[in-house]
């Protein structure tokens, strides 16, 4: 991923927080035919390992050999930025559109596993992470054990040993403070899709 210095996310706590907030990643590998494969999966990143699972019916996992290199792409909030929000549009017209976004890319080595105990631990960890944000959290052991065991037979686990992490937050850092505040105002006023989240990111990069 191309990361200009002003857009670099170097703080590990920030990187982990973004992955935790998004909660999912595109698993990207290269098949035997030389073409890439991609599957969007819920993920948990703990220590130097990212854990996830795939449907057993998904053929993607069958192409992943032990210690195969993989890429995980985590996309944060993103939004279109209109040049009409800049004061420069009226002053000189030398402005262009852009796209603001945040992303983390994790590279590492993968191992597929089918161990029921590890799968249960991984699914429980993932469930507790997301259900912890709910007003009435659901727990895996709320379901009958036999039912859970049957569901586990329908998935396979995938653990990725992290080797490198790159983060990027493109939040109009190349613009003046006035322009950046106008971007925040424009995004909030438009209020479409992930505009509010991106506006928060731009405001945060400004210091408020």
pLDDT for the residue numbered 35: 96
Lowest-pLDDT range of 77-81, 89-93, 114-118, 192-196: 89-93
5-80+97-174: CATH architecture: Roll (2.30)
* Whole-number Å distance between alpha carbons of 157 and 129: 17
pTM, two decimals, is 0.93
Q: Domain residue spans in the chain?
A: 5-80+97-174
Which H helix or E strand runs over 112? strand 98-113
Instruction: Inform me whether the pLDDT recorded for 166 exceeds 80.
Output: yes
If pLDDT is split at 50, 70 and 90, which confidence band does 94 have? confident
Task: Indicate left, alpha or beta for 67 from its phi (over 0: left) and psi (-120 to 50: alpha).
Answer: left
Tokens of 99: 């796209």
pLDDT for the residue numbered 90: 59
> Which residues lie closer than 8 Å to 117 by C-beta, 6 or more apart?
none
Give per-residue pLDDT as tens, 65-76.
999 999 999 999
């Amino acid at each position: 991923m191309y990361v200009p210095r002003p857009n670099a996310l170097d703080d590990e706590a920030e990187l982990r927080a973004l992955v935790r907030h998004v909660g999912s990643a595109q698993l990207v590998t290269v098949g035997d035919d030389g073409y890439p494969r991609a599957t969007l999966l819920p993920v948990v990143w703990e220590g130097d390992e990212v854990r996830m699972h795939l449907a057993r019916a998904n053929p993607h996992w069958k192409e992943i050999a032990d210690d195969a290199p993989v890429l995980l792409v985590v996309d944060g909030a993103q939004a279109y930025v209109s040049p009409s929000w800049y004061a420069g549009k009226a002053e000189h017209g030398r402005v262009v559109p852009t796209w603001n976004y945040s992303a983390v890319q994790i590279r590492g080595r993968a191992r597929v596993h089918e161990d029921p105990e590890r799968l249960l631990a991984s699914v429980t960890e993932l469930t507790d992470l997301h259900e912890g944000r709910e007003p009435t959290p659901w727990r895996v052991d709320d379901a009958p054990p036999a039912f859970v065991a049957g569901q586990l037979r329908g998935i396979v686990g995938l653990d990725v040993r992290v080797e490198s992490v790159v983060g990027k937050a493109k939040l109009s850092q190349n613009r003046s403070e006035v322009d950046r505040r106008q971007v925040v105002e424009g995004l909030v006023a438009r209020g479409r899709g992930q505009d509010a989240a991106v506006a928060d990111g731009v405001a945060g990069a400004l210091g408020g």
